[in-house]
Structure 1
Amino acid sequence: MNIIKKRKSLLKALSIGLVLLSGNAIAKETLTVGTDLTYPPYNYLNGKTPSGFDADFMRLVAKELGQEVKFLDTRFANLVLGVNLKKFDVIASTLYVTPERAEQIDYIPYMKTGGVILAAKNGEFTPTKPADLCGKRVSSIQGAAWIKKLNVVSSEECLPKGLSKIDVREFPTSPEASQALIAGNVDAQFEDAAVAQNAADKSGRLVLTSDIIYPVVVGLGLKKGNAELKSKLASAVANVEKSDAFKKLLLEYSVSTPNEKEVKAALDGTL
């Protein structure tokens, strides 16, 4: 009887082990992606489906890897923390490459864009450059890379001229930053060019008043030290960038891919 019981226990243990191995195999077949789905046209929900540039791009990358992809809606300010806590494998959320972020995460650059200024349509205030924002209330999505640059404008251009600093007001999402402008609670909004154009088109009450300011490189973000995943993703991204589907995506969103010089400049803060 003891021998029979031992055999049954052994078979049960083996069965549990196989189930666990099966579960791990399934998990490894899914690439989890952290993205802020309140940032159209790059990242948004179309019904219940994650859509936009980054969603389409990551589907191409996952296909190249032979994996399924799962998007985890995460507010922008929490993305770097989330990937470092292993809440997801990679960030794909129009994440600008900056020296400060590069100290916290690894990057795989894949796109280039830039910021612009939005103002009220038919309003009296039509800023065309950052210095025009001295003494003004400016809305922005929380944690945006350009906030530090606007603070530099305040200290180097506004205050020396006896003008008040730029009053940057951060909001959890870009639509909330736009709504603050529409409501007259701020004087202008600083936003990515494609996102700003989308907000202007949808609201009918906002207008872009500047050309692209602060050109930026965008990259996937990964937890530092994850060399195996970084190598696989970098290889997949390189292959996707050669595809007609990716080239079509770039045209659709009026963006481009950065060159090595631009990536280096973004990483050392000179872009």
Structure 2
Amino acid sequence: MESSMKNRSSAGLLKLAAFAAASALACGAANATATLTPGVLSVGSDMTLPPHTYLDHGKPAGFDPEFVGKVASYMNDTTKFVDTRFANLILGVTGGRYDIVASALYVTPERTKVVDFVPYFMTGGSIMVSSTGGLNPRTVGDLCGKRIGSIKGAAWIKYINAASDKACVAQGKRAVQVREYDTSAETAQAILSQGIDAQYEDVSIAGLIVDKSGGRLKITSNGPLDPVVCGLAMKKGNTELKSQIESAIAQMKAKGEYQALLKKYNVAAPTEAEIAKAMGTAQ
């Protein structure tokens, strides 16, 4: 009996040792695959959105490339940017095409069901129109029955439709009609060609588009509309990568680098309450 028990005990220890070894290998594999390629942080970004992210003589430039470049340096990684149209960014990261999305991507409760976020700045929207068209909308509700353009897949389309329902449809007026385009530049061109009446755009991007329009476009809304939190998005469950990015940002904050970048690009840091609201976890 004692011999049998010893044999069973030995068998149990062998199984436990095998399980521990397998667990160690699994942990090592998890650490090794925090990024798709060791030592490289690959980044999906729509490089048509200056000043957030764009190509300058073929090289990534703007807030997101600067920010992510600094993050990667604290992770001892280099960066590799993959230019991807905005509507396909989340599909790309969930499909394993790159490690993270860094492209002024709004954090929403719906998106948190698909990807994990590390929130890092706040922004909002502006309304642009032709300088000679006679329209001066302050809010979406001033565009009942009009056509408003947006970059395809933008989270603010939900906001536009909700504002239209409240200010237009509920008052017996025609709804605001949303038209989607692949890039912000194409949307602005649609205003100039009279394909649409107005454009909803991120405040920083809108300001740059207006500056480059030579007076043909103008911003008519007051202040940022629908202030929102933006986040770096990654494949759900990659806790190692998320932890590394959060640690890098904490080091940037400690050295004042985070605050300096936000000031340079005229954006703000989100509060814990604003992050909770964006993620749908506010009490």
Q: Could you state the TM-score of these two structures normalised by the residue count of structure 2?
A: 0.84
Report whether the alignment pairs 1:236 with 2:248.
yes
Partner of 2:155: 145
Which one has a bigger Cα radius of gyration?
A: 2
Quote the residue 2:218 is aligned against. Answer: 207
Question: Is the counterpart of residue 179 in structure 1 residue 170 in structure 2?
Answer: no
- Alpha-carbon offset, residue 26 of structure 1: 10
Whether the 8 Å CA contact 2:36–2:99 is kept in 1: the answer is no
Residues 46, 86 of structure 2: 8 Å contact kept: yes
2:165 paired residue number: 155
Distance 1:131 1:26, change over 3 A: closer
| Preserved CA contact (<8 Å) 2:249 2:258 | no
Q: TM-score, normalised by structure 1?
A: 0.87
1:71 paired residue number: 81
Q: Is the 8 A contact 2:44 2:89 kept in 1?
A: yes
Determine the structure 2 residue equivalent to 1:87. 97
1:123 CA displacement: 3.0
1:57 and 1:250 mapped to 2: Cα distance?
9
Moved more, 122-131 or 52-61: 122-131
Deviation at 1:214, TM superposition (A): 0.2
2:70 alignment partner in structure 1: 60
Counterparts of 1:156 and 1:132 in 2: how far apart (Å)? 11
Distance in 2, matches of 1:178 and 1:240, equals: 35
For residues 170 and 123 of structure 1, what CA distance do their matches in structure 2 show?
21
Aligned to 1:15: none
Q: What's the offset of the Cα at 1:157? A: 2.2
- Greater CA deviation, 233-242 or 182-191? 233-242
Deviation at 1:154, TM superposition (A): 2.2
Asked whether 1:248 is paired with 2:260, we answer yes
Distance 1:241 1:43 in 2: 22
Q: What residue is the counterpart of 1:43 in the other structure?
A: 53
| Distance in 1 (alpha carbons) for counterparts of 2:196 and 2:79 | 38
Structure 2 residue runs without a partner (length 5+)? 1-32
- Identity percentage over the alignment? 45
User: d(CA) in 2 for partners of 1:127 and 1:181?
Assistant: 14
How far apart are 1:191 and its partner, in Å? 0.3
Aligned equivalent of 2:119:
109
Q: Is the 8 A contact 1:110 1:258 kept in 2?
A: yes
Deviation at 1:52, TM superposition (A): 0.4
Maintained 8 Å contact 1:119/1:125: yes
Alignment match of 1:127 (pick from 134, 137, 142): 137
Structure 1 stretches of 4+ with a deviation exceeding 6 A read none
Aligned to 1:175, the other structure's residue is in SS state helix
Residue type at the aligned position of 2:254: K
> Aligned equivalents of 1:186 and 1:162: distance in 2?
22
Paired AA for residue 135 in structure 1? G
Offset, 1:161: 1.5
Give a deviation string over 1:99-141, Cα, whole Å, max 9, x none: 1111110000000110011111243101001100111100000
Secondary structure of 2:121's match? strand
Q: Report how far residue 242 of structure 1 moved.
A: 3.2
Q: Distance in 2 between matches of 1:50 and 1:152?
A: 35
- When structure 1 is superposed on structure 2, of 222-231 and 156-165 the one drifting more is 156-165
1:246 aligned partner, one-letter code: Y
SS in 2 for 1:163: coil
Distance 1:143 1:149 in 2: 13
Q: Deviations for 1:147-183, whole angstroms, at most 9, x for unmatched residues?
A: 0111112222211212111110000111111111121
What is the alpha-carbon distance in structure 2 between the residues aligned to residue 128 and residue 158 of structure 1? 14
Count matched residues. 247
What code does the residue aligned with 1:63 have?
Answer: S
User: One-letter code of the match for 1:243?
Assistant: K
Q: For residues 79 and 192 of structure 2, what CA distance do their matches in structure 1 show?
A: 36
Does structure 2 retain, via aligned residues, the 8 Å contact 1:98–1:269? Answer: no
Aligned to 2:146: 136
- For the pair 1:268 / 2:280, whether they are aligned, the reply is yes
- More displaced, 196-205 or 246-255? 246-255
Q: CA RMSD in A?
A: 1.7
**Cα distance in 2, alignment partners of residues 242 and 137 from structure 1:** 46
CA pair 133-241 structure 1, distance change in 2 beyond 3 A: farther
